[in-house]
Structure 1
Amino acid sequence: MPIGGKRRIFAYLSEITEGEFMQYVPVYYLGHLIDVLQEHAFPIHEWLQQQGISKDKLYSYDTKLDPAQFDQLLKKALAHPSREHLGLTVGRKLQIAHHGTFGLALLNCETIEDMIKFVQRYLVIRIPFIEISIVSYDTEVVVLAKDTHWQGELHRFVIEAVTGAVLNVFAALLQSVPSLSISRLFFDYEKPAYAEKYNSLAVKKIEFNYGYCGIAIDKRSLQAKIPNVDKLSFIQAQRACEQELARWLRFASYTGKVQQCLMQYQSSRPCLGDVATQLNVSARSLHRYLKSEGTSFKTILDIHQAAISKECLLIYGYSVAQTAATLGFVDMANFRRAFKRWYKVTPSAFIADNKK
């Protein structure tokens, strides 16, 4: 299987991904984190006060945090050695009822595939910076989670929490969808010192130091019908999620809006005008807005294409020529130059270096 390889940090990508793709982080799950911390006598009031936040404010529907604020809160929470596995603890506590209208919609999707596609579109209203994709093989389907923001211990915390929450959703469906079988989990970080606590996830095969984070499920599960769904409840819940997504788009930076648009272009090379049209602004205005945010369309497109090239080579198993064509490169030499600028090595060397 193409997925795998050592996790590498590339200087160029670190430099160009410093800009935020959105202007705020929802605080939807922060209350659950607080519940866990209170069990360990954590000084909640002081912790929040340092970031200028009151506990009451966390339960306000429209409360938003700057990404830097959110990151500082997580760093403080993870600072004590006894809390290094905090992500696993929070993930285990996040049941489907804790996701609000998002969870209600998931419960009323008709198939597992519909559920995954729903998560792809609306996850941003609950937890930003995590992109979901699906890769299909002969006997299994791999649901991949790509973190576009957090690094190090913060990345591990978020991935652990998301994984635990997803497994809880699957567990809620297990009785009604017996074909739903999780064959393995894999993570892109080193095996942590507390790896034995991953046994609580109840998945037999867990692998670390992969190129990506993901969950592999039996392919037969994808089209399995989920019984007793309520179509009206789904429509109402989806409508509420769509309204939340529209609110996010209003508050998002233009960098975030462009990034969201580019996710639709997996096999072409859009120009500034194409994306500006989707955002209902002129190309000149979009250029000016991005410049005011300290970036440019070329930089954002570069980040997007670098990520897609990596996925094509390591996940989909594309050849170098297929990858270049997918990204809209007519000249192979231009693609190789771009790839070397992104990853400091040629595409062929990159593939060889990332094989297990």
Structure 2
Amino acid sequence: MRVSVSTAQDLGMPAIYLHTLAELLHTIGVDERDLILRVGLDPTRLNSTEVRVSQAQASEFVTRAIIESGEPGLGIMLARELKLPLHGALGTAVMSSRTLEEALELMTRYLTLRAPHLKVQKRVSGQNAWYNVTCDIELGPLQGFVLDAVLFGCVTMGAQLTGTLVPGTRVLRRGPEPNHFHRFRNRIGVPVEYGATENALIVPVSQLCLPVRFSDDQLAASSRAQCEEALKQLKEDAGFACRVRRVIETSHPFPPKLARVAATLFVSERTLKRRLQEEEASFQQLVDQVRLERAKELLENTGMNLSQIADALGYADAANFTRAFKRWTGLSPSHFRTRETALRRTA
């Protein structure tokens, strides 16, 4: 029995996909920034292939995007925007593969890094290889959007890797054809068959040996190692404290109130505190961890003065920020900035 998105283990969703969807919404006349802020997300934190957003917030954003745009085909539209570098280490590994088959095998193994709870199973039947996509949780109205983005995104990926749409490729979809699909059929470029018994990408076995245009054995080895490490880290980050931290580090305004984080994670404030205590953590500790990381980033990479940084981190004034930073690091913010600038010059 599949569980719902609200009760499933939250592995997060790569923030870059929401950023890409937001850019897409802008092109069709939706105020994407307002939408992001209403969901409680920080727009400046989404443009990263490494940052992950809680699944609850990602689900809310996508649901509102579909409703407010009036476009049920957003998943298909997003698939066309998913350039390989957006997929982080997995995108690099796929791009540096030798053949299309190697690329699809990587997608099969590491899809969880980019689309949590989706799994791909490969089988060969006759002259075709079938890549069947399943989901181990109940996504409700998001199911169609996610499968559109993944399956049609694979078609786009094949074209990016080989330089052209892979001949003989087909997409199978369960259920009846949606009323809006006729508007997109010709844009996809490969046959799409609804009413199937599974959601799958079908590729002729004869095409799996197609060479990848960006093949690089050295880069392939290093990026695959990164994928393995990321997969291991993702499994380790499945604890409750990591889920809370994920909400904190992508929230707007920052820092978020405990009550809002608890509501985002579908738990009471009391339960949130108890579960953090069970993992020897506290809400304030997690807020301070994120604050310290952001403070270092702003001191190293921007020209913001201390008052501006204090405001960005949710402090009443620069003095409060300075005291906190010195307590964390033993250095004043100004001393830290001077030291890091000097280190960069001598590096």
Aligned to 1:309: none
The structure with higher relative contact order (CA 8 Å, sep 6+) is 1
1:66–1:227 CA distance, 2 compared to 1 (3 A): closer
- The Cα of 1:243 is off from its aligned counterpart by 2.7
In the other structure, the counterpart of 2:195 is 209
Structure 1 residue 20 corresponds to structure 2 residue 8: yes
Task: Answer yes or no: is the 8 Å Cα contact 2:161–2:213 preserved in 1.
Answer: no
User: Is 2:193 the partner of 1:220?
Assistant: no
- Give, in angstroms, the shift of residue 19 of structure 1: 3.4
SS at match of 1:187: strand
Q: Does the 8 Å contact 2:73/2:181 carry over to 1?
A: no
Q: Aligned runs of 1:109-128 on 2, under 5 Å? A: 109-128=97-116
Higher gyration radius (CA): 2
Match of 1:63 in 2: 51
Q: Counterpart in 2 of 1:234?
A: 220
Trace 1:263-274 onto structure 2 (pairs within 5 A): none
Shift of 1:194: 1.1
Q: Which residue number corresponds to residue 43 of structure 1? A: 31
CA contact under 8 A between 2:11 and 2:116: conserved in structure 1?
A: no
- Cα displacement (A) at 1:95: 2.1
- 1:250 alignment counterpart: 236
1:41-190 superposed matches below 5 A: 41-60=29-48, 62-80=50-68, 82-175=70-163, 180-190=166-176
Indicate whether 1:31 and 2:19 are aligned: yes
On the 8 A contact 2:15/2:46 being kept in 1, the answer is yes
Offset of 1:175 from its aligned partner?
4.5
Amino acid at match of 2:110: Y
C-alpha offsets along residues 177-198 of structure 1, whole Å, 9 cap, x if unaligned?
x9x4234211123211112112
- Native 8 Å contact 1:23 1:253 kept in 2: no
Deviation at 1:41, TM superposition (A): 2.5
Contact 2:119 2:134 in 1 (8 A): yes
Identity of aligned pairs, percent? Answer: 19
SS at match of 1:28: helix
The SS at the match of 2:65 is helix
Provide the C-alpha distance between the structure 2 equivalents of 1:175 and 1:35, rounded to a whole number of angstroms.
25
| Alignment TM-score, normalising by the size of structure 2 | 0.63
Query: TM-score, normalised on structure 1?
Result: 0.61
Asked if structure 2 preserves the Cα contact closer than 8 Å seen for 1:109 and 1:226, the reply is: yes
Cα RMSD (Å) of the superposition?
A: 2.8
1:228 to 1:80, Cα distance in 2 relative to 1, 3 A: closer
Deviations 1:73-92 (A, max 9, x none): 11100114631111111111
Deviation at 1:229, TM superposition (A): 2.0
C-alpha separation in 2, matches of 1:224 and 1:69 = 39
Distance 1:160 1:227, change over 3 A: closer
- The answer to whether the Cα contact below 8 Å between 1:33 and 1:90 also exists between their aligned partners in 2 is yes
Question: Structure 2 counterpart of 1:171, which letter?
Answer: A
2:179 is aligned to 193
Read off the aligned partner of 2:186 and give its amino acid letter.
N
Relative to structure 1, the CA distance from residue 241 to residue 158 in structure 2 (aligned partners, 3 Å threshold; closer, same or farther) is same
Count of aligned residue pairs for this structure pair: 242
* 1:175–1:34 Cα change, 3 Å: closer
CA shift for structure 1 position 50: 2.5
What letter corresponds to residue 117 of structure 2 in structure 1? F
Assess if the C-alpha contact under 8 Å between 1:30 and 1:58 holds in 2.
Answer: yes
Q: Secondary structure at the match of 1:192?
A: coil
Matched residue type, 1:214? A
Residues 235 and 60 of structure 1: is their aligned pair in 2 closer, same or farther, counting only changes over 3 Å? same
